[in-house]
């Protein structure tokens, strides 16, 4: 039985990646995620991997593209402005169907914003982000243990679907310390080799080409349709969420990541006051669990969506809830993290209590 250890968020994510078989890390300093590349710079040489501090996030994502071309497990991490810079390369990777894990420790925006926790990159992460038709699998942890588990899952999903996967965290997840149990080290021999397409040298076989490019619209449309088929497969198989005390709930809070964690306290506090509140927390932000949320909210008095942004997941919540229940929204922005008490107050206001 693996032991529980007390670790900091960014280090937990790094160690989880190492144990998942990641041996390549490229990154550029940006707050609040610097401890992750720092950890990897120490850890990669220890496990025979390669760490490189790059000249920019633009270079970073293209190095990730190159490393992913070889079929090896590769990761980068950044924070919001850096992730904006990476969008060009992310689009190319989605088009070229390259597996990689991208960690975005989201901070306040837009623009330079600040360095405090925020969730303003939801749209960028879940709706594409760069140019062209594509989707990224987006995983949003709310605890360190979940972050550790989702990193392993992220690599597996990236390999299975040949698609970049985002782990969307924020400064809270990055900075807190919590006890976690790490998985065992993944046996490198069990990792997917991607021999059928990866660039490994055309030894005794036809050359492999990895590209997002085709000048012929007939061929490119075929590529597009194949991507759409893949995204539909992901949508049908990979939706994940957590349900917390929903069975007898009159009110459903919807929230993700750090707010999902805070919302559990809200559920407890509300129940102490006799208000039956439950939590629906999407873990995959894309694919979003629309069907399950729709089912859950039927007959409820209220759906309260809480986010640290102007209402980005709210659009997906509305698509799911339809007219099955009234929807209210509570937000903080700019790097401000709401307390359970203020969320509870907002909830009571909505209920007229």
Q: Which residues form the interface with other proteins (CB under 8 A)? A: 24, 26, 50, 52, 54-56, 58-60, 62-70, 72, 74, 88-89, 92, 96, 199-204, 207-213, 215
CB of 213 to other proteins, least distance (A): 5
CB of 346 to other proteins, least distance (A): 44
Helices (H), 298-337: 313-321
Q: In the complex with other proteins, which residue's Cβ is closer, 136 or 169?
A: 136
CB of 25 to other proteins, least distance (A): 10
Q: What is the rounded end-to-end Cα distance, in angstroms, of the chain?
A: 48
CB of 61 to other proteins, least distance (A): 8
Length of the chain (residues): 353
133 alpha-carbon distance from chain centroid: 19
Q: 194 vs 84, 152, 158, 188, 199, CA distance in Å?
A: 29, 18, 12, 13, 9
CB of 38 to other proteins, least distance (A): 18
Q: In the complex with other proteins, which residue's Cβ is closer, 66 or 183?
A: 66
Q: 200 vs 15, 106, 286, CA distance in Å?
A: 27, 35, 31
Q: In the complex with other proteins, which residue's Cβ is closer, 66 or 192?
A: 66
Q: In the complex with other proteins, which residue's Cβ is closer, 82 or 117?
A: 82
Q: In the complex with other proteins, which residue's Cβ is closer, 62 or 124?
A: 62
Contacts of 246 (CB under 8 A, 6+ apart): 252, 278, 279, 280, 296
Q: Is the peptide bond prior to 282 cis by the omega test (within 30 degrees of 0)?
A: no
Query: Tokens in use for 217?
Result: 């619209």
CB of 60 to other proteins, least distance (A): 8
Q: 30 vs 112, 115, 151, CA distance in Å?
A: 11, 9, 20
Query: Tokens in use for 314?
Result: 């709210």
Query: What's the CA gap between 306 and 329, in Å, rounded?
Result: 6
Q: 324 vs 40, 289, 295, CA distance in Å?
A: 47, 16, 9
Q: In the complex with other proteins, which residue's Cβ is closer, 58 or 115?
A: 58
The dihedral of CA 126, 128, 133, 136: what is its sign?
A: negative
CB of 189 to other proteins, least distance (A): 17
The 3-state DSSP class for residue 282 equals strand
Q: In the complex with other proteins, which residue's Cβ is closer, 204 or 299?
A: 204
CB of 163 to other proteins, least distance (A): 17
Q: In the complex with other proteins, which residue's Cβ is closer, 12 or 63?
A: 63
């Amino acid at each position: 039985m693996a032991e529980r250890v007390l670790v900091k968020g960014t280090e937990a994510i790094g160690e989880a990646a190492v144990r998942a078989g990641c041996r390549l890390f490229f990154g550029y300093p940006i707050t609040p995620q610097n401890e992750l590349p720092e950890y990897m710079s120490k850890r990669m040489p220890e496990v025979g991997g390669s760490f490189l501090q790059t000249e920019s996030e633009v270079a970073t994502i293209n190095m990730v593209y190159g490393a992913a071309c070889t079929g090896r497990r590769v990761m980068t991490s950044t924070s919001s402005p850096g992730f904006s810079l990476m969008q060009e390369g992310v689009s190319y990777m989605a088009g070229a169907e390259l597996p990689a894990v991208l960690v975005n420790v989201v901070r306040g925006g837009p623009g330079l914003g600040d360095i405090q926790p925020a969730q303003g990159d939801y749209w960028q992460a879940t709706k594409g982000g760069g140019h062209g038709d594509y989707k990224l699998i987006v995983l949003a942890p709310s605890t360190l243990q979940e972050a550790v588990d989702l990193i392993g899952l992220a690599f597996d999903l990236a390999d299975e679907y040949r698609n970049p996967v985002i782990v969307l965290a924020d400064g809270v997840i990055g900075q807190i310390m919590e006890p976690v149990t790490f998985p065992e080290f993944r046996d490198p021999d069990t990792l997917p080799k991607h021999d059928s397409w990866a660039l490994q040298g055309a030894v005794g076989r036809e050359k492999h080409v990895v590209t997002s490019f085709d000048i012929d619209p007939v061929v490119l449309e075929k590529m597009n349709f194949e991507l759409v088929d893949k995204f539909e497969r992901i949508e049908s198989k990979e939706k994940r969420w957590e349900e917390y005390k929903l069975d007898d709930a009159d009110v459903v809070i919807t929230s993700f990541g750090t707010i999902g964690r805070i919302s559990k306290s809200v559920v407890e506090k509300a129940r102490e006051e006799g208000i039956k509140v439950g939590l629906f927390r999407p873990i995959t932000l894309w694919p979003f669990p629309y069907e399950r949320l729709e089912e859950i909210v039927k007959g409820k008095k209220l759906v309260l969506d809480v986010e640290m942004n102007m209402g980005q997941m709210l659009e997906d919540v509305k698509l799911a809830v339809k007219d099955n229940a009234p929807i209210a929204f509570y937000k903080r922005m700019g790097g401000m993290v709401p307390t359970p008490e203020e969320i509870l107050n907002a909830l009571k206001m909505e209920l007229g209590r």
